[in-house]
């Protein structure tokens, strides 16, 4: 049975939390330069992306050629079936490694806001600008945030509105309150309002609020929920009752870094 930390007061400083994270990530490294979800399983592009993003957030900069080689090999092995989200992961990793970004033929898949979001992120990474049909831009400007029931979709809508410069002051304040309304009494966030808290949705809530230079309504509770999801091997799970993953570990570190770097809540760890 995996032992979990029940309360944040067990930690003396954020340094201890992040030290344990580095240890966890190290146990998921593979000889081919990638990272894996579980020991003795093959490395994946997604797990490698989250592992390296975590290490990068923690100040690690000395990535070797073997890491870049793994990413490049994965790209050429699976490029015909890579999702736009995985394209973005490849681009982000190669830029971090200082490697040449391969020429990509970006094809927009019309229908889902999430697909358009990753398509736009890839455009921004490759070209430094976003080109979308005028009808799409007009549609984004007229979409009502309150009609979005799911947190990730709402976060992406606000991202587009900010990119296209279409957020009014009143919408800005409304968006902050809207994202804060997804926070539950346990400090976590739900996929929808008043649903079970998971670290995935905490991350989405922090991403949305950080884009508006804001914070959860209950910052102390949010930190407590995140730390309660860390297990004794240093990794983080979706909540206190799930196994740790590199994705959830990255999400936890990103959230803690944002909150602690912009507030005086380091005192929570004393």
Domain harbouring 167, CATH code: 1.50.10.20
DSSP per-residue letters across 150-205: SHHHHHHHHHHHHHTT---HHHHHHHHHHHHTTB-TTS-EESSTTS-EEHHHHHHH
Q: Is 49 inside a domain boundary?
A: no
| Cα–Cα distance, 143 to 106 (Å, whole number) | 25
Q: Is 47 inside a domain boundary?
A: no
Q: Is 76 inside a domain boundary?
A: no
Q: How many domains does the chain have?
A: 1
Contact 224, 187 (CB under 8 A): yes
Q: Is 94 inside a domain boundary?
A: no
pLDDT of residue 4: 44
Q: What is the pTM of this model?
A: 0.91
Nearest to 240 by CA among 250, 230, 249: 230
Q: Is 50 inside a domain boundary?
A: no
Buried b (16+ CB within 10 A) or exposed e, 162-186: ebeeebeeeeeeebbebbbebbbeb
Structure tokens given for 151: 């947190």
DSSP per-residue letters across 27-92: HTB-TTS-B-SSTTSPPBHHHHHHHHHHHHHTT-----HHHHHHHHHHHHHHTTT--HHHHHHHHH
| Cα–Cα distance, 90 to 49 (Å, whole number) | 8
Q: Is 218 inside a domain boundary?
A: yes
Q: What is the pLDDT along the chain (270 residues), one digit of tens a residue?
A: 344 444 444 454 788 899 999 999 999 999 999 999 988 899 999 999 999 999 999 999 889 899 999 999 998 888 778 888 999 999 999 999 998 877 666 677 667 899 899 999 998 988 888 999 999 999 999 999 999 999 999 999 999 999 998 788 889 999 999 999 999 999 999 999 999 999 999 999 999 999 999 999 999 999 999 999 999 899 999 998 889 999 999 999 999 999 988 776 655 554
pLDDT of residue 1: 36
pLDDT of residue 79: 79
pLDDT of residue 17: 92
Residue range(s) defining the domain that contains residue 264: 1-13+163-270
Q: Is 140 inside a domain boundary?
A: no
DSSP code of 98? T
Structure tokens given for 93: 């990793």
Q: Is 239 inside a domain boundary?
A: yes
């Amino acid at each position: 049975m995996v032992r979990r930390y029940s309360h944040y007061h067990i930690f003396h400083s954020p340094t201890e939390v992040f030290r344990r994270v580095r240890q966890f990530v190290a146990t998921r490294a593979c000889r081919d330069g990638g990272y894996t979800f579980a020991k003795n399983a093959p490395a994946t592009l997604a797990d490698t992306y989250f592992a390296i993003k975590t290490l990068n957030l923690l100040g690690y900069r000395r990535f070797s050629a073997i890491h870049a080689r793994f990413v490049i090999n994965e790209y050429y092995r699976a490029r015909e079936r890579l999702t736009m989200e995985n394209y973005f992961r490849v681009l982000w990793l190669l830029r971090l490694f200082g490697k040449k970004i391969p020429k990509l033929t970006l094809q927009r898949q019309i229908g889902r806001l999430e697909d358009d979001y990753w398509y736009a992120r890839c455009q921004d990474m490759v070209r430094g600008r976003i080109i979308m049909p005028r009808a799409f831009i007009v549609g984004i400007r007229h979409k009502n945030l309150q009609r979005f029931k799911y947190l990730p979709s709402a976060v992406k809508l606000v991202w587009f509105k900010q990119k296209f410069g279409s957020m009014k002051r009143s919408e800005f304040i409304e968006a902050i309150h809207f994202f804060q309304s997804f926070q539950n009494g346990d400090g976590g966030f739900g996929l929808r309002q008043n649903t079970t808290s998971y670290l995935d949705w905490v991350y989405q809530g922090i991403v949305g609020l950080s884009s508006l230079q804001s914070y959860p309504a209950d910052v102390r509770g949010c930190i407590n929920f995140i730390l309660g999801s860390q297990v004794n091997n240093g990794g983080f799970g979706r909540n206190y009752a799930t196994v740790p993953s590199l994705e959830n570990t990255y999400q936890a570190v990103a959230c803690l870094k944002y909150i602690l770097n912009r507030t005086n809540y380091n005192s929570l760890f004393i």
